[in-house]
Amino acid sequence: MMGRVLRWILVAAALLFLAIQAVPYGRRHTNPPVRVEPRWDSAGTRALAARACFDCHSNETAWPWYSHVAPVSWLSQCDVDKGRRTLNFSEWDQPQKEAHESTKTVRKGTMPPWFYNAIHPDARLTLAESLSLSQGLEATLGTRRVKRAGKGHDD
């Protein structure tokens, strides 16, 4: 009896997994063209930012195979959409309202987030690399909101 119930549960779970693959959200993994990057203070800062930040905060996202399988595809797309809206290193010709916060988030260790680091070990930064990245971001982007030409645009 218990074996039969377990078998039905497994079949139902498999069918549900297959059915959710048809949900379109998370299937629009795109990388729009890179328009303008900030004037990096050094190649080292850019390299660290590319390694730890660009998957969510640029138009150069790497989309691994598992990011195409629901429900992970939904989470991946949501994180990238939010990351690009918050700060996009590939669209520096647009206002980047949160750029001034990037130094603080790296110093506090809240970026990259723990769940990203858990599945992307190459993005993990050592303490020295985190310090170097936060100093480089501060030199590149500044730490306060700056308005340009009457618009809210960060340096």
Q: CB of 51 within 8 A of CB of 106?
A: no
Phi, psi dihedrals of residue 153, rounded to the nearest 5°: -130, 130
Sequence-distant (6+) residues with CB within 8 A of 74 are 23, 25, 26
Write down the pLDDT at residue 43. 98
Sequence-distant (6+) residues with CB within 8 A of 125 are 48, 51, 52, 112, 133
Percentage of residues in the chain having pLDDT higher than 70: 89
Give 118's Cβ-side CA count (13 Å radius): 3
In tens, the pLDDT along 86-129 reads 999 999 999 998 898 999 999 998 988 888 989 899 999 999 99
pLDDT range class, residue 155, cuts 50, 70, 90: very low
pLDDT range class, residue 14, cuts 50, 70, 90: confident
Domain-by-domain residue ranges, the chain?
2-152
Phi, psi dihedrals of residue 148, rounded to the nearest 5°: -120, 135
Write down the pLDDT at residue 3. 85
